[in-house]
Amino acid sequence: MAKEGIEIVKIFIVDDKLFFHQMYKNFFEMEGYEVIGNAYNGSEAVSEYKKLEPKPDIVIMDHIMPYRNGLEAAKEILEYDSEAKIIFVSIDQNIKNLAMDAGVLRFISKPFQMQSLLDNIREIAEEQ
């Protein structure tokens, strides 16, 4: 549960695998965070992000997805909202520089420990 007086971090999950949505949601809720949206491909990520009010504090973005990959979706979200805070998650280490150059805040290589993701979320949330 979030501490009194501290705003709950709102998270938007973008991944084409239902398993990851469920795992993230369970983990984040145990940590006192709120999942405010889900998208299962890059095209849906952009359209859902634009609809979300309030905007999420953090977007967890997978790379390899149908219809539009995570890099394309991240670029479009950042064009729409330059304040978007995206943590990019990928097994493809070769995409890291492109993702960082596009404006994502963090890049986490799959597979990863959930604690690493949580540490990155906390660091970003504290910077806000």
Residue 106 in contact with residue 96, Cβ under 8 Å?
no
Q: Is the pTM of this model over 0.85?
A: yes
Q: Which residue has the tokens 């940590």?
A: 31
- Per residue in 75-113, pLDDT (tens digit) is 999 999 999 999 999 998 899 999 999 999 999 998 889
Instruction: To the nearest 10°, report the CA torsion of 26, 112, 63, 59.
Output: 50
Angle, in degrees to the nearest 10, between helices 42-51 and 70-80: 20
Taken in order of first residue, the domains within the chain and their CATH numbers are: 10-122 (3.40.50.2300)
